[in-house]
């Protein structure tokens, strides 16, 4: 990928109802969202010119804001429309879509009741990564030092910027040791998720995944559960203890960015990327690509 910094990319950004030149989409340093993490965002992917599950993402953006005590002044339909129009203006087909909403600069303090709620959308090129052979080798995960917080200590169902502080710390620590990512336990010590993706395991053909009771119930997670059941796999959502990882044969991650990514290692535990992940990678790829794009390519 090109090393051009993100503030120097080309095109337009939708900001508070208007399309502005990429380089003009700026905020002041005295922005509440920057100082106090009063910001929520989404990560979406366009495949073949269509944003996968766009409305679900826009609804989650609204929900995330509600958990942080603010209302986004653009409706789900308006945000959907802005995303679609921006994708067209950017002239992209396979792309990443990043909506964000945050409290502005009117008050600078813990209390910011009167701050304007801002919203912006940026879209950049991100060709989908479809080299199943490479992916099928599986990625290596470390075990994170930080844990997903207790729902009594943070609005854990919000895709809130502040909740990513421990994700960045955990991912950096893992990368420093040569791992691709880190698996996080939850506040009770149960298996939770990776720093930007949900986790699944396979044992004797049955799929097991943690209950999303204190972390994001990913849109990809739900899609993959549906695809797996459609294929006839049994999927069990339950508490998973770390030591159980010893008995699982396959492991894979799901997420908008990760799609379906097999895992070969988590700390001391080893997995064999295999048939279940391979089938679900293929099913997910078929599901996210608009039918007309698939037909045109044939």
Name the minimum Å distance from CB 221 to ligand PLP: 6
Q: Which of 53, 135, 157, 159 is catalytic?
A: 159
Name the minimum Å distance from CB 134 to ligand PLP: 21
CA 20/CA 25 separation, integer angstroms: 6
- Minimum CB distance to ligand PLP smaller for 43 or for 155: 43
- Minimum CB distance to ligand PLP smaller for 112 or for 139: 139
- Minimum CB distance to ligand PLP smaller for 229 or for 292: 229
- Minimum CB distance to ligand PLP smaller for 33 or for 255: 255
- 171 included as an active-site residue: no
- Minimum CB distance to ligand PLP smaller for 12 or for 221: 221
Name the minimum Å distance from CB 38 to ligand PLP: 18
Q: Which residues are near ligand PLP by CB under 6 A?
A: 43, 167, 193, 196-198, 215-216, 218-221, 254-256
Name the minimum Å distance from CB 295 to ligand PLP: 26
Name the minimum Å distance from CB 248 to ligand PLP: 19
> What angle in degrees, to the nearest 10, is found between the helix axes of 54-67 and 76-90?
130
**Both tokens assigned to 71:** 């209302």
Which CA distances in Å does 164 have to 60, 195, 196, 215, 266?
Answer: 16, 8, 9, 11, 21
| Enzyme catalytic residues | 159
């Amino acid at each position: 990928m090109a090393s051009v910094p993100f503030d120097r990319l080309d095109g337009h950004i939708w900001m508070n109802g208007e399309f502005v030149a990429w380089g003009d989409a700026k905020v002041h340093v005295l922005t509440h969202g920057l100082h106090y993490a009063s910001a929520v965002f989404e990560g979406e992917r366009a495949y073949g010119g269509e944003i996968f599950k766009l409305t679900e993402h826009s609804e989650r953006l609204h929900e995330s804001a509600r958990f942080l005590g603010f209302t986004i002044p653009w409706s789900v339909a308006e945000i959907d429309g802005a995303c679609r129009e921006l994708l067209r203006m950017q002239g992209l087909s396979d792309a990443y879509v990043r909506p964000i909403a945050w409290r502005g600069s009117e008050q600078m303090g813990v209390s910011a009741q009167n701050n304007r709620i801002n919203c912006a959308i940026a879209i950049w090129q991100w060709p989908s990564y479809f080299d199943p052979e490479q992916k099928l080798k599986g990625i290596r995960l470390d075990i994170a030092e930080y844990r997903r917080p207790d729902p009594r200590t943070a609005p854990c169902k919000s895709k809130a910027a502040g909740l990513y502080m421990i994700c960045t710390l955990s991912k950096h620590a893992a990368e420093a040791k040569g791992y691709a990512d880190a698996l996080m336990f939850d506040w009770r010590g149960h298996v939770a998720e990776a720093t930007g993706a949900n986790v699944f395991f396979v044992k004797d053909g049955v799929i097991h995944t943690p209950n999303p009771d204190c972390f994001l119930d990913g849109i990809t997670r739900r899609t993959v559960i549906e695809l797996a059941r459609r294929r006839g796999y049994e999927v069990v959502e339950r508490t998973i203890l770390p030591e159980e990882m010893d008995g699982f044969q396959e492991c894979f991650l799901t997420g908008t960015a990760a799609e379906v990514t097999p895992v070969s290692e988590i700390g001391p535990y080893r997995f064999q990327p295999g048939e279940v992940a391979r089938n679900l990678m293929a099913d997910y790829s078929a599901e996210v690509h608009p039918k007309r794009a698939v037909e045109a390519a044939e």
